[in-house]
Amino acid sequence: MIQRWTSQVQLKIASAVVGEGCENEQYLELYQPGIIQCSFEEGFLGVQWFNSTEEESSAFITYIKDEKDGPGFRSGDYDVWLNGSLFIGNVTVEHEGVFIVTHAPSVSVQVKQYNIQVQLFVKPQLEYPVIEECQDKSKICYMLYKNPLELSCSVENVRPRISLIWNQRNSQRDKLLESNMTIIRNNEVTITPRSTVKIHNDSPLLSVLVCSVNENTWILEENETVVILENGSVDISHSPIRHPVELHTTMTLPCNDFNESILVWKRSTDRSETQEVILIRVQTWKEDFNETYNKDFRLKPDGSLMLPQTELYHQGIYTCVASDYDMDRIQTIDVVIFTNPSPSYIIVEGCYHTQYCVLDVAREGNVTCSVRGIRPEVELQWRTYGNYPALSLTELERTSTEKGGIFNISLTTNFKILSAPERGITLECFIVEQNSDVFMSSIKAARIDLNVTYDNKETPGSWTVAVVTTIIVVLLILVVLVVCLKVLNFRRSRRKIVEDEEMLPRLTGHLRRKIHQELKAKYEILYHSVQPLPYIRDSMYCVDNVYVDSGIERDSDLSEDIVESIIKNCSGALVILDGFDEYPDKDDQETDISLILRREMLQEIDVILTTRPFYLPKEFAPHTDRIRLTGFNEDIRDQYIRKAVVQGDEQAPGK
């Protein structure tokens, strides 16, 4: 047995090892390997370790003249390091108490003794104060309550004892709350402290409570847990602001006038559901907290909620609740995820996507319009564009198919025209009801013009129609007689022209030039007075020459026979009839214009006729091509103006 050195000295040990020596208070984790730290200069004579304060106790391990011995060393439970520290293979409850180490630097130097108080500790599984009502939140917790409740904060299975307190925190200070502290002992090894505080309904809408460790704070990683309390007895229901967001785009939702200390963003997919918390920001006198519960979202510095890319499931009701500890602010936003239809317009059956569409219809028929690939689901409706009291519309079929949250919608409506209107009939298919405000005006409506063929059938009970029909029949008989007489006279004149054809002089280029000169001469004054806008003769952006073709002079020596002969013998002739809808005799089928359109006169020439879509000639030649002018959209107009005015300068201002 190695006896304790008899020479002892009184030491004053600081809380940490400074130079040689040992800390007088040290902590070892229970059921783990542990080291009682000391720091002795190398080359010392020896050290002896005792686990009892009794004078006659023996050292359980020694390290003298570079040799280790003692029952603790031989059992393998202990070891001494080169600096004199004691290594314990497995710390147990018996190791809590006072250890003594004696240190002999050399034979000639007095032996020193160090008394070391060893305190055991056990770390809890959750190394922070746990709010039992929201155990999975390590730093900040949000709670909605409607009735008075008790909040409990605890740290389970910890050693040594710690105490917990509750504070109400704001931007300037902490206010200690009255709480109840209880201790539960677990197998005489660990304890579970619990602190409980009562919350009443008179609390503000938003408040910040903090559960803090007030003793042995070193044992936990986090010594505080923050609770954001929302008083559910305060009504925060507000009429939501409708906010359409296009699918797969960035969404930013503002929290107006945000300059608050507490901010909570919540959302629900349906107004009846409990809202989930998305983000929390808390600013207090001690520190600030930012907690994100949904990783899809980001919080901007101004308090706005940002979502980099929207999906269909992001549609819902979003609520921003904010407070500066004195005043509360609430804002509710109804986010509608939408997709524009593809194609991006209302489709009318029988029409192409143009500015104007004219359908040839009878007095009764069906019209169908549809949208494809649209969200949210919308309602379509046919209506008259203008006042047509003698027109009825009856819905026949409405269909809506959905795939992946995207809709295809179609509407078929029957129309009946009871009497001929004074002007053309225009119908409009448009998006109605709540979701119509989501889309741009260019998408929400499509217009068509109806070119109606009237069958003149007698309307039952209408004597007026019968009288009009009788008059029309009489007029038709008279017209037929007149036409027969004109045809007979025309054939006689044609026979005479053929007989006298050999008497006409041979046509020369000189005659053709003379005709052109006389055509121009008649309207020479008008020709020189017409100027395009703007009035700049020499500008490259103006028309330099204007030619008005309106016949030859009355005293010309060119006879009608010569002019007609020139036209017939030309390799090609073109007649342009512009503005047929403004022609006063457009309904007269016996005018020269009508005869030319039906190719009953001047069959060899080509004819171009322009008219507005609501009035087309009732009769025309069978081999007729119809061309519809689609107009110019904004982009084409802008390109044309830039080319003509600023020579393609893309930097020129648009207005």
Greater model confidence, 95 or 359 = 95
Given 568, 594, 609, which residue is the final one in a domain? 609
514 with 592, same domain: the answer is yes
481 with 601, same domain: the answer is yes
pLDDT band at 233 (very low <50, low <70, confident <90, very high): confident
> Which residue segment(s) compose the domain that 603 sits in?
473-609
506 with 600, same domain: the answer is yes
Quick one: pLDDT at residue 14? Answer: 30
CA 91 – CA 28 distance, rounded (Å) = 7
The per-residue pLDDT of the chain, averaged, comes to: 80
599 with 545, same domain: the answer is yes
| Residues belonging to the chain | 655
Quick one: pLDDT at residue 568? Answer: 66
178 with 268, same domain: the answer is no
* CATH assignment of the domain containing 399: 2.60.40.10
Q: Is residue 652 part of a domain?
A: no
CA 401 vs CA 347, 350, 377, 407, 619: distances in Å: 16, 22, 9, 6, 43
pLDDT in tens, 191-213: 999 999 998 877 888 999 999 99
CA 606 vs CA 22, 499, 586, 597, 620: distances in Å: 118, 27, 19, 10, 13
Quick one: pLDDT at residue 483? Answer: 61
Q: Average the pLDDT over each of 85-89, 328-332, 393-397 and give the range with the smallest value.
A: 328-332
142 with 202, same domain: the answer is yes
Nearest to 298 by CA among 283, 313, 308: 308
Given 338, 364, 398, which residue is the final one in a domain? 338
Quick one: pLDDT at residue 461? Answer: 42
pTM of this prediction? Answer: 0.59
88 with 202, same domain: the answer is no
Domain count, the chain: 5
Q: Average the pLDDT over each of 212-216, 383-387, 606-610 and give the range with the smallest value.
A: 383-387
Q: Is residue 651 part of a domain?
A: no
Quick one: pLDDT at residue 262? Answer: 92
Quick one: pLDDT at residue 545? Answer: 47
507 with 561, same domain: the answer is yes
145 with 217, same domain: the answer is yes
In 328-468, DSSP assigns E strands to 328-338, 347-348, 358-361, 364-374, 379-384, 391-403, 406-417, 425-432, 445-452
Percent of the chain with pLDDT strictly greater than 90:
42
The answer on pLDDT for 604 being more than 70 is yes
pLDDT in tens, 61-104: 999 999 999 999 999 999 999 999 999 999 999 999 999 999 99
Q: Is residue 209 part of a domain?
A: yes
The answer on pLDDT for 403 being more than 80 is yes
Greater model confidence, 548 or 432 = 432
197 with 312, same domain: the answer is no
Q: Is residue 417 part of a domain?
A: yes
Given 101, 121, 141, which residue is the final one in a domain? 121
- As a whole number, mean pLDDT of residues 475-479 equals 63
Phi and psi dihedrals of 242, rounded to 5? -75, 130
Q: Is residue 344 part of a domain?
A: no
* Exposed / middle / buried, residue 278 (Cβ in 10 Å: 0-12, 13-18, 19+): buried
300 with 370, same domain: the answer is no
Q: Is residue 653 part of a domain?
A: no
CA 436 – CA 378 distance, rounded (Å) = 7
Q: Is residue 523 part of a domain?
A: yes
Q: Is residue 638 part of a domain?
A: no
445 with 507, same domain: the answer is no
Q: Residue 128 CB: number of other CB atoms within 10 A?
A: 19
CA 511 vs CA 514, 517, 579, 607, 614: distances in Å: 5, 10, 31, 24, 42
- As a whole number, mean pLDDT of residues 289-304 equals 90
